Structure 1
């Protein structure tokens, strides 16, 4: 049903990730570059520094959190569509933030769904 990229970006320039307004064009650019469908977005500025943000996508979401004092960005890109879109968005962010190290996990989501399988409610949830 989709792919989810979870990544920790280390060694990122603290100035690049201290303010939401500096991250906004990078995250929004990643959405456009990946040809993802933006529904809405919200960014939050921590004081004195650091930011979080999320972009709600028709395909799912892209979110991040920053710790400038550690040069760390945690990133979550989940798309239920062409997996290449998530990879393109991820590459775009890496190219802009230039981390010195990246720890990445890729999850395939919904791989066990089969049309002939029907959900069965557990017995304790059935209403008489």
Structure 2
């Protein structure tokens, strides 16, 4: 059985404070990674926290990329979820490792929608 989507959960370590705390740079890195991986960007929203940190999401036709940063720890939590075969979520992760200047990345992939029936089923609640 084929999965509906691939969800990579990535831990980015040893990133420079300035990179993870810059709203526009985080936004630019995330959007560019989606585009460079071949995704079709639909919308994006990012928020800067006080005293530090950035959260955001890039909505792509294939699903999404999301991030939350802890600049004071040099850490970012990143999700890349893609549906279909056109976009490989690992491509976006590799691009993000470089753009966030991560010293190391730990990541795992989860297959999403493995047990979804291929036909529509009516359910009454």
Q: TM-score, normalised by structure 1?
A: 0.86
* 2:15 corresponds to: 12
Residue 102 (structure 2) aligned to one of 99, 117, 120: 99
Post-superposition shift, 1:47?
1.6
Post-superposition shift, 1:56?
1.1
Q: What does residue range 111-126 of structure 1 map to in structure 2 within 5 Å? A: 111-115=114-118, 118=121, 120-121=123-124, 125=125
Moved over 3 A (4+): 116-121
Post-superposition shift, 1:114?
3.9
* 1:25 corresponds to: 28
Structure 1's unaligned 5+ residue stretches are: none
* 1:90 corresponds to: 93
Kindly indicate whether residue 62 of structure 2 is the aligned counterpart of residue 59 of structure 1.
yes
* 2:52 corresponds to: 49
Q: 1 CA distance for matches of 2:78 and 2:38?
A: 18
Structure 2's unaligned 5+ residue stretches are: none
Q: TM-score, normalised by structure 2?
A: 0.87
How many corresponding residue pairs?
Answer: 122
Q: 2 CA distance for matches of 1:3 and 1:83?
A: 11
Post-superposition shift, 1:14?
0.8
Q: Which has the higher helix share?
A: 1
What are the superposed Cα offsets for residues 102-128 of structure 1, whole Å, 9 maximum, x if unpaired? 22110011122343584655xxx2xxx
